[in-house]
Structure 1
Amino acid sequence: MSEIESLIWLIHRIYTFVIIAYVLLSWIPNARDSFIGEMLGKLVEPYLAPFRRLIPPIGGMLDISPIVAIFALQFIAMGLIAVIDFFI
């Protein structure tokens, strides 16, 4: 595995954990209004917004868009690595 592939997987892993942390903050009252919640929101919301527009909450409460977003992030990382492997 090249250094570029390792870097892509590292960025993928970190951003996945950021998404998970942001989702877990929704379970704690007023946690998203804290400094950390706002910082994570600025990092995650631009990526999650298109998924939330496409996938409505199930039963009005259960939001599965972060799960779909994480799967999409996985495919993006694999696609980038495939393109890099093709040219290198």
Structure 2
Amino acid sequence: MTTFYQVVMLLLDILWFVMIAHIIMSWLINFQVLNLRQPLVAQLWDGLNRLLEPLYAPIRRLLPYAGGLDLAPLVVFIGIVVIRMAMQNNAAFFYG
């Protein structure tokens, strides 16, 4: 069970960093630091969107419209923190 705990924590960490990269890249695109006409930027942006859209889409359907402000990443971040805290508080179950 220790391996299961470590794998889940690793996957949550990877998801955390992918989301951070997506958020930073969205800011850079919106402030026109990055240009989607560049092939590498466009491919990276498309890849990140394809990875994260299955997480964001159901949450976007549940959240009320916030005037162009996308709160889905915030909800996913809170979910990741809650899952991490729950797993760390119950780590004895995995090591026992």
Are the equivalent residues in 2 in contact too, given 1:19–1:66 (CA < 8 A)?
Answer: yes
Q: Measure, in 2, the Cα distance between the counterparts of 1:57 and 1:63.
A: 8
Query: What TM-score do the two structures reach when normalised by structure 2?
Result: 0.66
1:11 aligns with 11
- If you compute each CA radius of gyration, which structure gives the higher value, 1 or 2? 2
Structure 2: which 5+ runs fail to align?
none
2:52 aligns with 44
Q: CA RMSD in A?
A: 2.9
1:71 aligns with 78
Structure 1: which 5+ runs fail to align?
none
* Matched letter for residue 46 of structure 1: P
Task: Give the count of matched residue pairs.
Answer: 85
1:20 matched to 2:28? The reply is no
Query: What TM-score do the two structures reach when normalised by structure 1?
Result: 0.71
| Higher RCO (CA-CA < 8 Å; seq separation 6+) | 2
Aligned-residue identity in percent: 35
